[in-house]
Amino acid sequence: MAKNFLSQLTGSFAMPAAENPTVAMVEAAYKHHGLDWRYINCEVLPKDLGDAVKGARAMGWAGFNCSLPHKVAVIEHLDGLGASAEVIGAVNCAVRRDGKFIGENTDGKGFLQSLLEVIDPNGKKAVIFGAGGAARACAVEMALAGLTHLTVVNRNPERGKVLVDLINSKTPAIAELVVWNHNVTVPTDTAIVVNATSIGLYPDIDARLNLDMASIMPPMVVADIIPNPPRTLFIRDSEARGCRVIDGLGMLVNQGVIGIKYWTGVDVDARVMRQTVEDIFKS
């Protein structure tokens, strides 16, 4: 039998890209399941994003991830959007279907899956820091899962208002904006607190959110979407105050499992992927 030397290609477009462990995690899953697929981690400047997507088309890629800062900008370079990506207004996973790149959003689904392992957002109130692509995804999925009230804390009021209006118009939840120009206090009736900003992301691992940590207390559940480092200062500070915490690895792994299913049709073992990234950070 002739050997097929043409692997299926997937990858990621981000800026920066070097600290993103997704490539190791996804390739570990491909290898574990005997898939002749590759995942190529690419650093792409915003001005070059359109060319990168054209290149993926030309090379027959099965799909790609988009990370910061491309999750919203990539939409204009795609052929259509899946249902959740259309509501969220951001894409982190493009999938080739019938020769077209369709944008999906697996961030929010991956985050929700991690959240449900600790707390059900149904009937709860949440505070989310940030209003970018990842924040939109997490906020929309929580709202669609029954969250009653969401406070969006963001430095840019225009961007924050876009997310608030999205939640109020497209989901059953009620959202309000707090402009992040001061030391924010989290309301005592908050059940879930989410950092959906890049504050604390490697290499700026000593950065802290501008909030009153005295207002973070049990039984609040605190989540950080940053995967590198997995135990951010925010996670450690919240844990020290007795809160249950959710690190960014859960969201990273879960959205990866969903993305690989979109590309390959295979349900991969999430444990293999999590173990891979855990081993990377231990070393």
> How far apart (Å, rounded) are the C-alpha atoms in residues 245 and 251?
13
Written as six digits, the tokens of 234 are 């925010």
> How far apart (Å, rounded) are the C-alpha atoms in residues 66 and 93?
6
Task: Say if residues 224 and 235 touch (Cβ distance below 8 Å).
Answer: yes
> How far apart (Å, rounded) are the C-alpha atoms in residues 170 and 78?
23
Pairing of strands 8-14, 63-66: parallel
**Among 74, 65, 62, CA closest to 12:** 65
71 labelled catalytic: yes
At how many degrees (to 10) do helices 157-170 and 133-144 cross?
A: 30
> Residue 64: helix, strand or coil by DSSP?
strand
Listing from the earlier edge strand, what are the strands of the sheet with 63-66?
37-43, 8-14, 63-66, 93-97, 100-104, 80-81
Distances (CA, A) of 283 to 53, 61, 85, 276, 280: 34, 32, 35, 11, 5
Pairing of strands 63-66, 93-97: antiparallel
Residue 15 DSSP class: S
The residue from 3, 47, 54, 71 that is catalytic is 71
> How far apart (Å, rounded) are the C-alpha atoms in residues 112 and 250?
10
Residues with catalytic annotation?
A: 71
